[in-house]
């Protein structure tokens, strides 16, 4: 099979992506995926909340004459921020965006589980909206919390920031050319600084940016970590998948 053959890909509502075979038994059908990870940093009533969406995909391709699942690609495709809304409005917004095209039916949600995040998480559970909640703690480790019904993760802020930095440096995460608020996100990410504590430990601090508290950067930091370490609840099993972790 020629390398420049364009596959006719079918994008299914559940996130599966398969190559059309035209009922030709000589052409194997390979299943890849395209999913979205929605991550949210939640602020108090007068502070900004922010939402960032990562598109995460690995599509069928032709490689060395064979149809296989190609490398994993993660792209920042959407961002939004808002303030001055109630908890109910925040939950409604998250539910709407999770169900909106093209995310509906193939998206996972992760939120900041600190402060008001616990309230929002409980409200999401009341509406049967599956999600994970990340509580930022000190240090460089992470673990699943024994509390919260298995949806909470305690993650060191240093690990969160370093994970995203490595993913960008390696090209494993990129911005879509038309991603909204890209300049603001990059300014937020640049505001993170590494400092050394009195005990000699490296810690991450964040300077206030010109437009707020770095909420967009934190939302992306949460999404980057979740995409790397928290296996999506509905992840589709792959064969011959290249470029996963």
Reported as a single tens digit per residue, the pLDDT across 31-72 is: 999 999 999 999 876 788 999 999 999 999 999 889 999 999
Q: CA-CA distances (angstroms) from residue 49 to 107, 137, 190, 238?
A: 19, 19, 19, 35
The band of 192, judged by pLDDT with boundaries at 50, 70 and 90, is confident
The b/e string for 203-232 (b: 16+ C-beta within 10 A; e otherwise) is bbebeebeebbbbbbbbbbbbbbbbeebeb
* Global pTM value: 0.86
Class of domain 9-229: alpha beta
pLDDT value for 231: 74
230-236 contacts, C-beta under 8 A, 24 or more apart = 230/110, 230/132, 230/153, 232/35, 232/37, 232/108, 233/108, 233/130, 234/14, 234/15, 234/35, 234/106, 234/108, 235/33, 235/35, 236/14, 236/15, 236/16, 236/31, 236/33
Mean pLDDT across 223-231: 93
pLDDT surpassing 60 at residue 109: yes
């Amino acid at each position: 099979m020629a390398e420049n053959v364009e596959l006719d890909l079918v994008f299914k509502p559940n996130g599966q992506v398969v190559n059309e075979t035209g009922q030709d038994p000589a052409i194997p059908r390979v299943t890849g995926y395209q999913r979205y990870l929605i991550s949210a940093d939640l602020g108090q009533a007068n502070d900004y909340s922010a939402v960032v969406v990562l598109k995460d995909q690995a599509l069928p391709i032709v490689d060395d004459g064979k149809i296989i699942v190609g490398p994993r690609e993660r792209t920042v495709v959407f961002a939004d921020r808002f303030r001055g809304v109630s908890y109910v409005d925040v939950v409604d917004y998250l539910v709407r965006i999770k169900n909106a095209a093209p995310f509906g039916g193939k998206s996972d949600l992760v939120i900041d589980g600190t402060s008001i995040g616990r309230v929002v998480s409980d409200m999401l559970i009341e509406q049967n909206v599956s999600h994970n909640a990340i509580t930022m703690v000190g240090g460089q480790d992470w673990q699943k919390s024994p509390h919260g019904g298995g949806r909470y993760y305690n993650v060191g802020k240093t690990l969160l920031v370093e994970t995203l930095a490595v993913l960008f440096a390696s090209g494993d995460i990129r911005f879509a050319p038309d991603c909204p608020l890209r300049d603001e996100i990059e300014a937020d990410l640049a505001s993170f600084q590494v400092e050394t504590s009195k005990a000699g430990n490296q810690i991450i601090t964040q300077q206030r940016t010109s437009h707020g508290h770095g909420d967009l950067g934190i939302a992306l930091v949460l999404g980057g970590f979740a995409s790397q370490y928290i296996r999506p609840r509905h992840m589709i099993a792959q064969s011959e998948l290249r470029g996963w972790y």
